Amino acid sequence: MDTRVTKKKLGLKERYAAMTRGLGWETTYQPMDKVFPYDKYEGIKIHDWDKWEDPFRLTMDAYWKYQGEKEKKLYAVIEAFAQNNGQLGVTDARYINALKLFIQGVTPLEYYAHRGFAHVGRQFTGEGARVAAQMQSVDELRHYQTETHAISHYNKYFNGMHQSSHWFDRVWYLSVPKSFFEDAITGGPFEFLVAVSFSFEYVLTNLLFVPFMSGAAHNGDMSTVTFGFSAQSDESRHMTLGIECIKFLLEQDPANVPIVQKWIDKWFWRGYRLLTLVAMMQDYMLPKRVMSWKEAWEMYAEDNGGALFKDLARYGIREPAGWKQACEGKDHISHQAWNTFYNYNAAAPFHTWVPSEEEMQWLSEKYPDSFDKYYRPRLEYFREQQQAGNRFYNKTLPMLCTTCQIPMLFTEEGDPSQICYRDSDYLGNKYHFCSDHCKGIFDDEPEKYIQSWLPVHQIYQGNCFKPGTDPTAEGFDPLMAVLDYYEMNVGRDNFDFEGSEDQKNFAAWRGEALKGEAK
């Protein structure tokens, strides 16, 4: 039998050219600027859209083929996991709380990204950029769906996931991811690309999807690691889109450089603040640990991001403003965030806990300059109080930063014992910020951020109660009324992990599983 010879009709480069060029046309009965109204008003100058090239040269035919293959593999794992009662094989039910944060705060961002890319995919005049944005739009919708499908299995067994869409628009800390994407999709199309494709996808998503997902594998959660890596395999294409869009913008016209630099400064900082949640997931919510947030930051932000900015220096682009502060924060933010959620756990639909002595030992080793000095004593005090039956829950509300919407939990550069606080006056009102960079972002576009829907302000203004609630009634408990508006199951979704239904159920199911009884 003759050896089969594979013969391609077109090479990769020719195929890419054939499938991404000549798809557009010059309009005749309406001016082009009226049909594409958005790709000029930000001041970005494009002289030759044809210079835009997707380095992966992925075309629609190959896209469907490989995405179809990924889906088959992913659903094979998700189904095997479900049929096998895989949820009983994870290290500890505390781990599930990371998945609650994922479905509450990360999955809805995939949907926002889908909407954002669908929008810019329509608005760019150049066909290459439009094709790349459309594929990314489909990817992001796929991520929203696959994450929802994978996590819905856990929703059958654990609390804290049943109202994730409802919570995304209401619960205080979920305004942090929500405001990030709403800020991005209400920018112009080029700002959106610099925000999401470049600053978020290229500089920051490795920190979310790589070490945390490797941690999920380490904790026995094959379902999550598979959706995570399946999503991240698209991210590597999104990163090439990010780096291509930056190179393209910088090479098209020198006048684009200062505009792009300003966006990089803004979106690096906004993305960095958003990742505070991930820092905490990695250091506190993985019972078996792969690497600390600090190590992940050094690997993916300092080394990889550093290489990127060294490469972009030839265009006159420098490291983002806030880079130094972000690098200093690697010793602190996970601990500061966990403390805040521990405090406000009455109003958060997932569980928190004081780490075990063994876990604190690990944190001491990973954070020799900060953990024992600043954070261990507070956690030990919390543990002492909890064991004495005085588990502390903060019942007042925190002050939020108007820009990133995170409570004022971050400390001053060079002094981790001092909370950082800045303010600005605008049209007779005072606005509050967690850092110089969040203040700078506000001061640059105050008319945008004065419209922020800040959950704490809304609660105090009485806008977060169900219709018909009477705050003047005797015995009125504002916290309970807000939790009712959130549709949280009080006593099941919230409070300490110790004594929770999740903890009891998991222990019971595991015991039954060990005895070989059917549930």
> By the criterion CB under 8 A, which residues form the site for another protein?
6, 8, 11-13, 55-58, 62, 66, 69-70, 73, 206, 209-211, 213-218, 225, 229, 232-233, 235-237, 239-240, 243, 290, 303-304, 306-308, 310-311, 313-314
Say if residues 132 and 116 touch (Cβ distance below 8 Å). Answer: no
Task: Compute CA 133 distance to the chain's CA centroid, rounded to the nearest angstrom.
Answer: 20
In this complex, which beta carbon is closest to another protein, that of residue 124 or of residue 229? 229
Q: Which residue is associated with the tokens 């997932």?
A: 350
Say if residues 386 and 498 touch (Cβ distance below 8 Å). Answer: yes
In this complex, which beta carbon is closest to another protein, that of residue 183 or of residue 235? 235
In this complex, which beta carbon is closest to another protein, that of residue 167 or of residue 209? 209
CB of 296 to another protein, least distance (A): 11
In this complex, which beta carbon is closest to another protein, that of residue 202 or of residue 449? 202
Instruction: State how far the alpha carbon of 193 is from the alpha carbons of 113, 181, 197, 210, in Å.
Output: 10, 12, 5, 22
In this complex, which beta carbon is closest to another protein, that of residue 161 or of residue 286? 286
CB of 216 to another protein, least distance (A): 8
In this complex, which beta carbon is closest to another protein, that of residue 76 or of residue 508? 76
Separation of alpha carbons 125 and 512, rounded Å:
61
CB of 217 to another protein, least distance (A): 3
Burial of 393 (0-12, 13-18, 19+ CB in 10 A): middle
With left for phi above 0 and alpha for psi between -120 and 50, is residue 319 left, alpha or beta? beta
CB of 303 to another protein, least distance (A): 7
Instruction: State how far the alpha carbon of 318 is from the alpha carbons of 71, 274, 308, in Å.
Output: 39, 22, 10
In this complex, which beta carbon is closest to another protein, that of residue 270 or of residue 289? 289
CB of 89 to another protein, least distance (A): 14
- How many Cα atoms sit within 13 Å of 69 on the Cβ side? 7
In this complex, which beta carbon is closest to another protein, that of residue 136 or of residue 352? 136
In this complex, which beta carbon is closest to another protein, that of residue 125 or of residue 304? 304
- Dihedrals phi, psi of 286, to nearest 5 degrees: -100, 110
In the chain, helix, strand, coil percent, each to 5?
A: 65, 5, 35
In this complex, which beta carbon is closest to another protein, that of residue 268 or of residue 449? 268
CB atoms within 10 A of CB 307: 10
CB of 95 to another protein, least distance (A): 14
CB of 16 to another protein, least distance (A): 10
Say if residues 88 and 510 touch (Cβ distance below 8 Å). Answer: yes
- Dihedrals phi, psi of 169, to nearest 5 degrees: -90, -5
Name the maximum alpha-carbon separation found in the chain: 90
CB of 292 to another protein, least distance (A): 14
CB of 202 to another protein, least distance (A): 9
Separation of alpha carbons 44 and 253, rounded Å:
8
CB of 403 to another protein, least distance (A): 29
Structural tokens at position 349 = 């639909």
- How many Cα atoms sit within 13 Å of 290 on the Cβ side? 15
